[in-house]
Amino acid sequence: MSAEWDDGWWRDAARVPSPNFSARPAGARVDTVVLHSISLPPGEYGGDGIRRLFTNTLDWSAHPYFETIRGLEVSAHFVVRRDGSVLQFVSIADRAWHAGRSSWDGREAANDWSIGIELEGLEGDAFEPAQYAALERLLPAIDRVRAVRHVVGHEHVAPGRKIDPGPGFDWRELAARLHWDADRIPPAGPHGA
């Protein structure tokens, strides 16, 4: 790892360890980043629901929606808040539980070989400039230690099952900010943008 990293933890992120992770399979080639969107409750931003969900401390009775996800044990490596702040829940050396049943580029089980980044947002809504700026810092930092071949959405690795980050995410904006080859970032998600 580089000076930017401490045992798979990015030094520019606030560390919030999640118990929801496991070891990657031996020899896993971690070379893909999967972007997601999340808000808890749906459409509400700025609260601590995401942090509590990923750390198994969510009060299921605090909102009617939470009852529909009761007992869910999930995580992502990173969460990018609306203000551009970055939280890290799982070391990139480990497998976060973010993609579920998934496949991409001829490989099944994306959790084994990908890094999951949740963007605080809702499918169909626009994301904030501060979030694109955060990705502009985070993705190259990951690339320097993991040689990222693809940045895709949950909608790409689980089509028909997931639609995030959705049509509100601007893939062209991300590509323009990173100046990466076109084959590393899709021109749009399956739902547009």
- Joined tokens for residue 161: 């099952």
Interval 168-184: pLDDT, tens: 999 999 999 999 988 89
Q: Say yes or no to pLDDT of 188 above 90.
A: no
SS3 call for 186: coil
Interval 40-88: pLDDT, tens: 999 999 999 999 999 999 999 999 999 999 999 999 999 999 999 999 9
Closest CA to 4 of 139, 161, 163, 156: 139
Interval 91-118: pLDDT, tens: 999 999 999 999 999 999 999 999 999 9
**Architecture of the domain defined by 5-20+32-184:** 3-Layer(aba) Sandwich (3.40)
Among the listed residues 67, 118, 128, 155, the single catalytic one is 118
- In sequence order, the β-bridge partners of residue 88 are 15, 78
Q: Mean per-residue pLDDT for 34-40?
A: 97
How many angstroms separate the CA atoms of 13 and 84, rounded? Answer: 11
Asked if 118 is an active-site residue, the reply is yes
pTM for this predicted structure: 0.96
114 CB burial (10 A radius; 0-12, 13-18, 19+): buried
- Joined tokens for residue 129: 């400039």
Closest CA to 10 of 128, 83, 93, 97: 93
Domain ranges of the chain: 5-20+32-184
Neighbours of 144 (CB within 10 A): 13
- Joined tokens for residue 163: 């639609």
